[in-house]
Amino acid sequence: PPATTQRGGRQPKILSHDKVIVLLNNPNTWYVIATQERWSSGVVQNIQHMKQQNISHLKDNGSFECRQRKNEKNGVDLYCRFVPIGE
């Protein structure tokens, strides 16, 4: 049978595969990866500790930094960047 392109399990909603590619191709550059209604500590912790399955294999290459900032619409913007090891 042909190889399937679907991944099993819960898919990441905030730091998706497409966003990871953008962050890796532009290291040390902050990007807004999500806008939410309230602060989210669990998501930020999971990203910074590289616990998501789609980024856990990158631990040896660098780390993700996240910051949350209130925006003008009373929401919270989640910023993220990839910092390679040694920079």
More confident residue, 60 or 11: 60
Question: 55-81: string of b/e by CB count within 10 Å (b at 16+)?
Answer: beebeeebbbebebeeeeeeebbbebb
pLDDT tier at 5 (50, 70, 90 boundaries)?
low
Tell me the pLDDT tens digit for each residue of 48-74: 999 988 999 999 999 999 999 999 999
CA angle 36, 42, 47 (to 5 degrees): 90
Q: Tokens at residue 7, please? A: 């991944």
